[in-house]
Amino acid sequence: DQQVKQNSPSLSVQEGRISILNCDYTNSMFDYFLWYKKYPAEGPTFLISISSIKDKNEDGRFTVFLNKSAKHLSLHIVPSQPGDSAVYFCAASAGLYYGNNRLAFGKGNQVVVIP
């Protein structure tokens, strides 16, 4: 049972345009959400997170939006740069509820930014 779902496994976008990645979750107890970025032959690196008490968090070119009623979050990258070409994983945690820090991950989205 996959609790975190990332559809549209790949995305190609022109440099300078916006990249939008979507993520849906099924567990209503999730209260913390993260995006990780992964280059080939490297481990995922933390990108940005959002708590369920907020609906938006921004960090430079990266913004995450959370819609709790729809159990949906999205990552916006603007403007997209060639160095953003990577796989992006959505992850969710119910740490405050379950008292643990287990993360559930989606399958990932491959982003290719075309120069």
Partner 1 sequence: ETGVTQTPRHLVMGMTNKKSLKCEQHLGHNAMYWYKQSAKKPLELMFVYNFKEQTENNSVPSRFSPECPNSSHLFLHLHTLQPEDSALYLCASSPGAGNYGYTFGSGTRLTVV
> Which residues ranging from 41 to 70 are in contact with partner 1 (CB under 8 A)?
41-46, 49, 51
From residue 3, give the alpha-carbon distance in Å to each of 28, 46, 57, 72, 113: 10, 20, 22, 12, 28
Closest approach of partner 1 to the CB of residue 16, in Å: 29
Closest approach of partner 1 to the CB of residue 67, in Å: 19
Residues at the contact surface with partner 1, assessed by CB under 8 A: 2, 4, 9, 31-32, 34, 36, 41-46, 49, 51, 89, 91, 93, 95-96, 99-108
